[in-house]
Structure 1
Amino acid sequence: MVTVCEKDQCAGCMACLEVCSKNAINIKDSIKSYNAIIDEKRCINCNACRNVCQVNNNVDVSKPIIWKQGWASDVNIRKKSSSGGAAAAIARSFVENGGILCSCCFSQGEFVFDFEDDINKLARFSGSKYVKSNPKGIYKKIKQLLQSGKKILFIGLPCQVAAVKRFVGKRYEEKLYTIDLICHGSPSPMLLERFLNEKGYNIKQIGNIEFRSKTNFALKGKRIRLEPVGVQDLYTYAFLTCMDYTDNCYRCKYARLERVSDISIGDSWGSDIKEEEKKGISLVLCQTEKGMDLLEQSKMTLEAVDLESAVASNHQLKHPSKPAVKRDKFITLLQKGKRFDLSFFMCHPKVVVLKQLDRINSHLKNGGGYEGISYSISIVEK
């Protein structure tokens, strides 16, 4: 097997697929890892795939020049966002000023990237995505739009930002604005599809998926929680405990304070603004003058934050996530075709039993909701 980058270290940025003129690249997802495999019969050894690969090549990184915590001034944007709504606020002001957003959204059963220049349609990009997204098909279009003089704001994971910058090149970087999301790691989309299927849902027939949200979690409309209020589903638990990321995430070269983008956004964990925590507070690191312009235009409410405390509360600003102790066993069981919940039980039976008790206790409680952030999957039917 000949691969574009080191075996099992592909991040799935898909840039190599677009740069190959002979369609000689195929991405293989084994749940445990991604690999960009080269079809040697089609390959003409031009090395375009290896040259664009952000795993093989370094991209310029910079230390933050300012660091803040804050939230969108628009109450509705903040309420609908996973955290403080920083990404949504910046995206809205950017589009209002004539730019085009390129970011991730859920479409026809996949988390893919799309473009938008209508502020009334930006809500589809909101929310956290606890799964590996697919940027296939965006690179050439981004470059074409930049060549035509358009301003593009790309919001994605650090590896995806690096891939876009490698593909575009420095010639067109002036009109390219980038935001990276401080990332724990991401699992194969095959895991999410299997998990939902085992719960009786076909991912292709779902209107949307929410991995975390801030609201009163009573059932409304066609929104369905996979677990009762206050109970975390096992997919979310596995994600938050670093149980199921692909191999490359545990060696991520972007998990550091020096960042690849104009702005980096995450959660301001352990904020000293306690009265705002339940509403969501974003951590914002700005590396460039372009990033400063974006923040100024967004009219966000920004407050001081201690950088040392922010880094201590976000390990991804120091080092990659460390695999859970039973991670390899869990992934092996899944690869053998075991059900998601059973695989998890075989690794952590006590956790599953405790969650069953939580489920029972939740059903015994009287109605009501929960004010704050919920880390559990909800689906919206079409």
Structure 2
Amino acid sequence: MKTVCKENQCAGCMACIDICSKKAIQLVDSIVAYNAVIDENNCINCGACQKVCQENNPPVQMKPIVWKEGWANNQVIREKSSSGGLATAIELAFIKNGGTVCSCSLKEGDFLFSFAYTEKDVAKFTGSKYVKSNPKGVYKKILEKLKKGEKVLFVGLPCQVAAVKNFVGNKENLYTIDLICHGTPSPKILERFLNDYKLDLYSTQDIRFRVKTKFYLESDQKRFTVPTVIDNYLMIFLNSTSYTENCYECKYAKQERIGDITLGDSWGSELPEDIQSKGVSLVFCQTDNGKYLLEQTDLQLLDVDLERAITWNHQLHHPSVKSKQREKFLNAINEGKKFRQVVLTCYPKRYIKNLVKTILYKMKIIRGGQVRYCIILTERI
């Protein structure tokens, strides 16, 4: 098997697919890893795919020049967002000032990248997405818009931002936001989880993975657990069990960032609890373009201690650590076993504990609000 980058280290950015004039590259998803596989019968050995690959050629990463925590002053934006609403607020301001936004949303069971041209269009991008997305085809469209002199804001994971930069080159009108990422699973993992409930990912209209600091999966307003228990999909995700192989060696898990702006959650914030509960975002700014994005947006930004912010976001100093149960979990999933059975096998104590909590809650013996989880503090079993 001839691959664009080192075997099993493909991030799935798909820039190589877009740049190949002979359509000789196919993305292979084994659940354990992604691989961009080259069809040697069609390949003309031009080397374009290797050059554009952000795994082979990561662009220059920059130290932050500004670091803040805060939220969108528009309370509706803040309320609807997973965190403080900074991404949505910046996107809306960018469009209002004549630009176009490119980011990810769910469409027909696939987490695809598309463009927002109006303030109304931005709503489709709202919310965290704890699954691998599909940028195929978007790179050429971004380059076309930039060549026409249009301003484009790309919002995605660091590996995707790096891929955009490699594909389009140094373009004045390109603005980028990278999101602090702890790793992403194959969409097949999400599909298998939904299958336990006789649901089909490709028939799903809407998926939510969290609300503020409360992590739970909701599909078309159907929730999979009682409020005191985290669902199996997110329990596995938060334990770093389900990511593809490349995520554990991520080149972008460091303080130096790839985007004009970096956005994430302000975990460990010292602000009062009533403010944190409404959502607080962490923002790093690396460039003058980043400063422009912040200055044109109606935000409440406060000083934050840089070292504390990094300490509470491990992805700012090292990649996620692979769970000891990962191989066992993914092998069982690949063998076709039901998701909940695999979770029970790999994490019996956690599974049984959650089952007991569910029964007690339904019997009204215990009550309470949502279980709150911070990614970096989640117990690793």
What is the TM-score normalised by the length of structure 2? 0.94
Map of 1:284 onto structure 2: 283
1:331-376 Cα deviation digits (max 9, x unpaired): 111111111111121111111001101212322339998479689x
- The aligned amino acid for 2:333 is L
1:43-91 Cα deviation digits (max 9, x unpaired): 0000111110000002011100010000010001000000111111111
- Whether the 8 Å CA contact 1:82–1:128 is kept in 2: the answer is yes
**Cα distance, 1:140 vs structure 2:** 0.2
Map of 2:179 onto structure 1: 181
1:14-59 Cα deviation digits (max 9, x unpaired): 0000100111001100000000000000000001111100000020
- Whether the 8 Å CA contact 2:68–2:283 is kept in 1: the answer is yes
- Whether the 8 Å CA contact 2:230–2:371 is kept in 1: the answer is no
Map of 2:378 onto structure 1: none
Map of 1:118 onto structure 2: 118
* Alignment map for 1:26-105 (pairs within 5 Å): 26-105=26-105
Whether 1:327 and 2:326 are equivalent positions in the alignment is yes
In percent, how many aligned pairs have the same letter? 51
Q: Secondary structure at the match of 1:132?
A: coil
State the distance in 1 between where 2:266 and 2:213 align: 19
Q: Secondary structure at the match of 1:207?
A: coil
- Whether the 8 Å CA contact 1:60–1:260 is kept in 2: the answer is yes
- Whether the 8 Å CA contact 1:80–1:214 is kept in 2: the answer is no
State the distance in 1 between where 2:10 and 2:251 align: 12
- The aligned amino acid for 1:347 is C
State the distance in 2 between where 1:288 and 1:216 align: 32
Map of 1:261 onto structure 2: 259
Whether 1:337 and 2:336 are equivalent positions in the alignment is yes
**Greater shift in the superposed pair: 334-343 or 98-107:** 334-343
State the distance in 2 between where 1:216 and 1:322 align: 22
Whether 1:246 and 2:241 are equivalent positions in the alignment is no
**Cα distance, 1:9 vs structure 2:** 0.2
Note closer, same or farther for the CA distance 1:295–1:369 as it changes in structure 2 (3 Å cut): farther
State the distance in 1 between where 2:240 and 2:174 align: 32
Q: Secondary structure at the match of 2:206?
A: strand
Map of 2:311 onto structure 1: 312
State the distance in 1 between where 2:46 and 2:219 align: 54
**Where do 4+ consecutive residues of structure 1 move more than 6 Å?**
366-369, 371-375
State the distance in 2 between where 1:215 and 1:311 align: 18
Map of 2:188 onto structure 1: 190
- Whether the 8 Å CA contact 2:10–2:33 is kept in 1: the answer is yes
Q: Secondary structure at the match of 1:128?
A: coil
1:240-297 Cα deviation digits (max 9, x unpaired): 1101100000000000000000000010011111231111100000001110110111
- The aligned amino acid for 1:281 is V
- The aligned amino acid for 2:82 is S
**Cα distance, 1:96 vs structure 2:** 0.7
**Cα distance, 1:121 vs structure 2:** 2.1
Structure 2: give runs of 5+ residues left out of the alignment.
375-381
- Whether the 8 Å CA contact 1:263–1:288 is kept in 2: the answer is yes
How many residues are matched? 371
Q: Secondary structure at the match of 2:355?
A: helix
State the distance in 2 between where 1:238 and 1:33 align: 16
Map of 1:166 onto structure 2: 166
Whether 1:350 and 2:349 are equivalent positions in the alignment is yes
State the distance in 1 between where 2:293 and 2:252 align: 22
Map of 2:233 onto structure 1: 235
State the distance in 2 between where 1:371 and 1:180 align: 29
- Whether the 8 Å CA contact 1:83–1:281 is kept in 2: the answer is yes
- The aligned amino acid for 1:30 is S
State the distance in 2 between where 1:363 and 1:264 align: 41
RMSD: 2.0
Note closer, same or farther for the CA distance 1:175–1:313 as it changes in structure 2 (3 Å cut): same
State the distance in 1 between where 2:306 and 2:6 align: 34
1:2-23 Cα deviation digits (max 9, x unpaired): 0000000000000000100111
- Whether the 8 Å CA contact 1:214–1:374 is kept in 2: the answer is no
State the distance in 1 between where 2:358 and 2:132 align: 28
Map of 2:198 onto structure 1: 200
State the distance in 2 between where 1:52 and 1:19 align: 8
State the distance in 2 between where 1:81 and 1:232 align: 20
